[in-house]
Chains A and B, each alone.
Chain A
Amino acid sequence: DAMVIQNPRYQVTQFGKPVTLSCSQTLNHNVMYWYQQKSSQAPKLLFHYYDKDFNNEADTPDNFQSRRPNTSFCFLDIRSPGLGDAAMYLCATSRDTRSYEQYFGPGTRLTVT
């Protein structure tokens, strides 16, 4: 009964080679988030979708893009990964942006060689 699914769990890519991470949810939540997390630090919000409305964080590099083709799926595209982009990428969902808890997927560990 997995609720937030991320694929793949581990991804290895080469420096500068585009990579796409995927997330799907069975909760029918309005909001989907993408976070970057390094070394068990606090997750850093990259962007979120409220339904089809895209909300980018001011300090998210242009190298990171996202797509949400429907309610269930959301993708994170890294156009030209650098060594500094190696991290755990977490997808989360929430019923709304205010006052509600978030449901996290298991994460995708990205390695850049």
Chain B
Amino acid sequence: GDSVTQMEGPVTLSEEAFLTINCTYTATGYPSLFWYVQYPGEGLQLLLKATKADDKGSNKGFEATYRKETTSFHLEKGSVQVSDSAVYFCALSPNTNAGKSTFGDGTTLTVKP
């Protein structure tokens, strides 16, 4: 079955540091890939997405590129802020009718001033 593996957390960074959260996936076919963010006490919000190989999703300074050859979708941000502290989930959605989204275990990011 489909699976998503995220780098283990938690991750603690100083403000303005560079962020990378690794995500690799296993799926048949060509799934769409997503990063969701969850702030304390809230639901998940879509951060960015990519629907085909080599697509780059970007939003709020975050970026991720769909790499089919390495089955990866790593999240990056050049300069994190305290307000980026949250839990980040990588997810995939298959392109078949029978599919359902598969989520990674989440990575907790804490940014210190």
Report B-chain residues with C-beta under 8 Å of the C-beta of A106.
42-43
Q: By the criterion of a CB under 8 Å from any partner CB, how many residues of chain B are at the interface?
A: 29
B99 contacts A97, CB within 8 Å? yes
Contact with A along B72-98 (1 / 0, CB 8 A): 000000000000000101000111111
Q: A81 near B: Cβ within 8 Å?
A: no
**Cα distance A24–B85 when bound, in Å?**
28
Contact with A along B94-113 (1 / 0, CB 8 A): 11111111011110100000
A99 contacts B87, CB within 8 Å? no
B51 contacts A107, CB within 8 Å? no
In this complex, the member of B34, B100, B106, B108 whose beta carbon has the largest number of chain A beta carbons within 10 angstroms is B100
Cβ-Cβ contact count across A and B, 8 Å cutoff: 63
The 8 A-B residue pairs whose C-beta atoms are closest, nearest first, are: A104-B43, A42-B103, A99-B32, A104-B44, A107-B43, A99-B95, A106-B43, A40-B87
A105 contacts B103, CB within 8 Å? no
Secondary structure at the B interface, as helix, strand, loop or mixed, is loop
Contact residues of A with B, CB < 8 Å? Answer: 4, 6, 40-43, 45, 48, 90, 92, 97-107, 109
Q: Could you pull out 12 A-B pairs where Cβ atoms are within 8 angstroms?
A: A40-B38, A92-B43, A92-B44, A98-B97, A99-B95, A101-B32, A101-B93, A102-B93, A103-B46, A104-B43, A104-B44, A107-B42
**Cα distance A88–B22 when bound, in Å?**
26
In this complex, the member of A6, A100, A101, A104 whose beta carbon has the largest number of chain B beta carbons within 10 angstroms is A101
Contact with A along B15-46 (1 / 0, CB 8 A): 00000000000000001101010100111111
How close is B91's CB to chain A, nearest CB, in angstroms?
A: 8
Q: A42-B89, A42-B105, A43-B103 are in contact. Are A99 and B94 (CB under 8 A)?
A: yes
